[in-house]
Amino acid sequence: MKHYKGLMAGALAMALAIPAMAVTGYADDTEGKLIMLNWGNTEEERIANEAIARFNEEYPNVTVEQTCVPVESWSDYIQKWITMSTSGEAPDIISLGLEGAQMAVSNDLLLPLDDIVAGDEALSAQKGEYAESLLKGFSSDGVLYGLPNGTQTMVVYYNKEMFDAAGVEYPQDGWTWDEFMETAKAMTTDDVYGFGLSSSYFQLTPWWATNDASPAAEDGTPSLNSENMVEAVTFLKQMVDEGVTPDPISSDVYTMFASKQLAMVGAGRWVLNSWKEAGFNNDNFDCVQWPVNKREGSVYGGSAWCLGTATQQPELATALLKYMVASETLTEVAAGGQQIPPTESLATDHAIMGDTPDNVDGLWKAITIADPVCAPTYFGDIEQSLLRAMEEVFSGAKEPQAALDDAEAELESLIG
């Protein structure tokens, strides 16, 4: 019986190998050049280069040119893309942040991936692994345009030692905005702020989500001055007025948390490496879900590999796409310590995610309850308008309602 099983397995392996060999045999001769537009630091560039090297083992005659740029703003990244396209170097394969996805789709820059994924077993299997919410972020009108390779979210980190010293109970999942404010006040002293509020678009989103608000409505129109948005901004302004947070415009809250000037701060996974280097371990910090007002929530962003409409070689580009989202590549991206892997199996694997802090699984939980970072087709404008309004509120120049009304009017005239 044992023998028979082995024989079956052998036959099965042969059967599987034959088409693979056939494909490899065909691919060997394919010649061509693919242009890749990637974003990130040198580490991310290196990981992509290694995936390209694996692709080149199968396609030795295909040259892949990677351009990897740091991203300051997604509009700049799209601008880079346009510049490459107009100078005859239109990228075939692009790594795109969620923030730029709808802008790219609405301007016809991306190829729909549904047929490509459906026609490919490996990609179909891969698609089933992703969190549904992530795929939704990279879809428009039900059509999929990107396969995610990493994601990011926000939870609240707190310094356990400070809480112990102050005799304040650790926060628990499901805590409310009121409980949060009480805790922040209890933790604030002459040298320490209870919470570090960061006035960036992504970092602010959990406040909108947990108040059941969003800068743009479901139909894509701006809703900066909706009742729930105004209420959330008023709460943030109260935080500033009560002095439980340092100045949100000029403060580097992640450095302040590492140097123990803050008791709590909101962040994703990207801060963990530098905090661990600063001596943080399971004994002195942990994380908890975002405090709740109207519903539980957080934010997720992330990036995905997409194919450009300008590509002349969609088959080759698809072949490369498979290598970019293969679990080997995703594991390497996750091992870099910045991003959270986009699939549950990888994101809850402690060999990849590490064991610090204790509640490291909370990061994946946050993604499952999170809203995507609000990124309509006019992302650059909505980001600028909202952040300007926040600065006006925090600097005391305008009241929340007036600042958001003005921003809404400005934005509507911009997108006309």
Residues lying near other proteins in the complex (CB under 8 A) are found at: 73, 75-76, 78-79, 82, 86, 107-109, 193, 246-252, 255-256, 261, 378, 380-381, 383-384, 387-389, 391-392, 394-398, 410, 414
Closer Cβ to other proteins, 246 or 301, answer by number: 246
Least CB distance from residue 389 to other proteins, whole Å? 8
Least CB distance from residue 47 to other proteins, whole Å? 26
Measured CA to CA, the distance from residue 157 to residue 194 in angstroms comes to 11
Least CB distance from residue 82 to other proteins, whole Å? 6
Unique residue bearing structure tokens 């309850």? 369
The answer to whether 284 touches 160, Cβ cutoff 8 Å, is yes
Closer Cβ to other proteins, 164 or 252, answer by number: 252
Measured CA to CA, the distance from residue 9 to residue 369 in angstroms comes to 42
Closer Cβ to other proteins, 294 or 388, answer by number: 388
Q: For residue 260, is it left (φ>0), alpha (ψ between -120 and 50) or beta? A: left
Least CB distance from residue 70 to other proteins, whole Å? 12
Rg (CA), the chain: 23
Closer Cβ to other proteins, 246 or 291, answer by number: 246
Query: To 10 degrees, the CA torsion angle through 194, 292, 382, 367?
Result: 100
Closer Cβ to other proteins, 261 or 368, answer by number: 261
Joined tokens for residue 317: 């580009």
Packing angle, helices 314-324 and 42-58, rounded to 10: 120
SS3 state at 158: strand
Least CB distance from residue 86 to other proteins, whole Å? 7
**Single-letter residue type at 304:** A
Closer Cβ to other proteins, 84 or 324, answer by number: 84
SS3 state at 394: helix
Least CB distance from residue 256 to other proteins, whole Å? 6
